[in-house]
Structure 1
């Protein structure tokens, strides 16, 4: 790896960190206006719409055996966690959600070892243990060291990280031949209609828009 390539990798990592970290704050702000279900659905619809051109372009690379797997990727890696995070953040701070999200590597390792016989080095295990310990310390610090003060909505975030771990292993071991962009865009394309149906049929989203529009024109 050249110095230029290495520097670009660090820049991209920094940008990704900013985008990923800010998502928890944006979820919290979205909850000021919309319900948890609406926020989760809007996130999926926005992502699937933005990536739709890439999904269409990547369709030629998808084989018949990949479709069910890509649907599972969409559900485990995007759809279900989007709703879990939104629901959790109705009762916990965005900072706690971000901290708990750090459990994803731990569950990725556990699921890989249990279901895919994945081998890990001692350094990897030690690093994950240290990371997990740091997460626990931060959680306890946020509750004054009192476990009884822990808001159990945080367990929804833990469940989301379990889905993330399952998703990463699914991609690694079941569809390694597809490009990351193809996997992401097509998996979101598959769950996008589910989010649209939920938002417009199962929530009062349309009524909210109509009332807001009416209030705007009455000014």
Structure 2
């Protein structure tokens, strides 16, 4: 099984130059499950995929855009509420050998000013990690869990995009929920995939 994630950086419905390049890469990678973030409905893995997506943010998104979409070659079963249905989405994937949960999301960026427009740099990022941790705890009830998306942190070293505090918070949140990040060694990368520990041990 191949699981992939990618922040598409808000492609437009009529993006004649950028969209074909993205689509070609998606077709070439040929993942069984895609978690696409900052995405648009015009970008998709084509035939024989089911999807579940976050709701668009009316004052922010352009036509067709949304924050997170899960595309699955396998049937999608139950869906689960998240702390913010415009940011994170979660569904049960009915794969032939086992059922599992996929949680697609964006942990917000450094300069998010928050609902009041006054938040300091990284403040909303830290709040977002805490909200995600609460979601993962609710979902970690038996089925294997895959968490993937744009974490807005590089994890391969002490430098890069992110802060020491943020990396510690994320590490603690993953550990509390028995999740292992399998993309943490990729340099200059903020798009990550995490698995339940027992699942990660056999992948």
Higher relative contact order (CA 8 A, sep 6+): 1
TM-score (norm 1): 0.21
Q: Tell which structure's C-alpha radius of gyration is larger.
A: 1
* More strand by percentage: 2
* More helix by percentage: 1
